[in-house]
Each structure stands twice: as structure tokens, then as C-alpha cells.
Amino acid sequence: MDTGDIGFMRVILLGSADRLGVREAVETFRPEIVKHCTIVAEDFSCTLDFSQYEADFAIVFGGDGSILRAAHQMGENQLPVLSVNLGTLGFLANFMPEDLVPLLKKKAILTYPREESIMFKCEIFCGKELLTKRFGLNEVSIQTGPPFNMLLMDLIIDGEHVTSYRGDGLIISTPVGSTGHSLSAGGPILRNDLDVFVISPISPHTLSHRPVVDSAHRSYELRVQNPNVPVIIDGNVIATVTPNERVVVTRASHTFKMIKIPGVSYYQTLREKLGWSGHFPTFQKLK
């Protein structure tokens, strides 16, 4: 941990050391970072709990996966995130490495706009007993695993039974997660600042089951009819559930805060990242 002038910007450094180029990038930029910032804490093992740390923002090195892990590590104390893109596509990671030092020198980053996006709370109950509670940024998915039988599950919204699904699984996604697994399953692309969830079935047996967008201020409950079904949050299995357990997804009380580049619009990002301009971007690795 580094110390610095009390007037310095306070930052947390995050990233995954097992990702190519992350450790090298951090050590390359560290001398410049400490000239302008006090490093309150840092973690590249993705294991520390940062929910109690106070800082002006977090600098996250990597791609969108690193940002998801950082959001989990910050828990209910979500700091604004300055993302340094060392990945490939990077819907969330919007600053390139060469942008970092000029921003820190001018302290301009403190005046940049911050986009707030909803997060979710996923709770698993057996009767009234709470078994597991986790927060996430992208999506909750319940999907088939070995022996890969068709899943049967019920969807209940605000206490009302809506429908029963048969297929490979179901995804409940935030707008931030709408460009991830949900999009691959045929879900719509949603603006990150919307206050909604999208429910996307995975390979539904009934073709009339299509993605549905609904308010994030409702309670979404899933009940499986198969034994030992994985519950996955942002790519990580958090539990397996059985027919006597309930998975309840609601809007989290805290939001994810992303520092944005002034003048770069939502649709400009889609054009560049999804190749809507007619070509896909190419990326160069750090030397």
C-alpha cells in the first residue's frame, strides 16, 4: 500500500493478475499513479472485500470480466469505476491505457459524468429460511447441467404465477447484462440507465416463450422442478437448488457507477463494439 499527500485523489486498484497484461500494466502505470493519487488499497487476486474502504474511485485494469469482479468485491459500497481496457470487446471497459495518465494529471476524472446502473440481489430460500444472498451486476441464470436434461421451472412475479418454462434454462438480466448471455439467448439490448430486468429463456421448448422486459421494482421468483440445478451469477455458480427451494431476484438498493468519457454516446459505443458501422474494431496488446 502506498501513501501520499492528503490532497491526492484516493484510489483503489483492482484487476485479475491471471489475465494477460494486467500485472504488467499496473506496474507500468504505478509510478504515475502515485504522483497524483493515494492508493488506499489494491487487489489482483479478486479475493478481498472492499465494502468498507473509502476512496474517490476505483481503477480497474482488464476487461468487462474484471469490472464484474470489482463490482462484487465492492459489495454495497459501490465506488465510481474508471475502467482501463486491456480486454477485447469491452462494453463496459471504456478508457484505453493511454488515456489514464493525462486524466490523473489534470484530476479531470473527478468532473467526468458517472452513469449509474441497477444491480440485483439474488436470495435463495428454503421455506422462510434464507440460505444464500448475493449481489450481481449482469445476470442470474438457472440452466441445465449434467446429465443435461430439460429443465422445468415456474416464474412467479410479485406473487403471481406467470408461466412455466421448459428448456435449457432462464436468464434474468439487468440492462448492463443485456449485451452478455441474455443477448446470446435472443434477448434485447437495453440502455444501461434503464430501471428494468429482461427475462430470457434459453432454448425454450415452447416457441411462444420469448424474452420479456419488466420493471426492476418487482420481485422475480423461480422454482425449479428438477433436482440439483445450478444457480449462476455473473458467470459463477453460487449454489444448486432443488424443488423445495426458491430463487428470488430483486433490485439491489445500491447502484453500479461507471465513469464515462464525455461526448461518447450510448449508440456510438454500440456502433463501435457491435460492428454496426460495418466493421469490427481491432485491438493491440500492450507491449
Yes or no: say if 227 and 209 are a contact pair by the CB < 8 Å rule. no
How distant, in Å, are the alpha carbons of 122, 123, 137, 196 from that of 251?
9, 11, 10, 9
Name which of 57, 55, 64, 110 is nearest 85 in CA terms: 64
Three-state DSSP state, 273: helix
Identified catalytic residue from 43, 64, 168, 234: 64
Task: Return d(Cα 118, Cα 181) in angstroms, integer.
Answer: 17
Alpha helices in 51-202 (DSSP H): 64-74, 97-106, 181-184
**Is the peptide bond prior to 204 cis by the omega test (within 30 degrees of 0)?**
no
Q: In what order do the strands lie in the sheet with 229-233?
A: 212-215, 196-202, 169-173, 139-143, 229-233, 236-241
Report angle CA 269, 172, 268 to the nearest 5 degrees: 5
N-term to C-term CA, the chain: 26
Whether 64 is catalytic is: yes
Task: Return d(Cα 198, Cα 147) in angstroms, integer.
Answer: 28
How distant, in Å, are the alpha carbons of 155, 204, 227, 284 from that of 224?
9, 15, 8, 44
Among all residues, which ones are annotated catalytic?
64
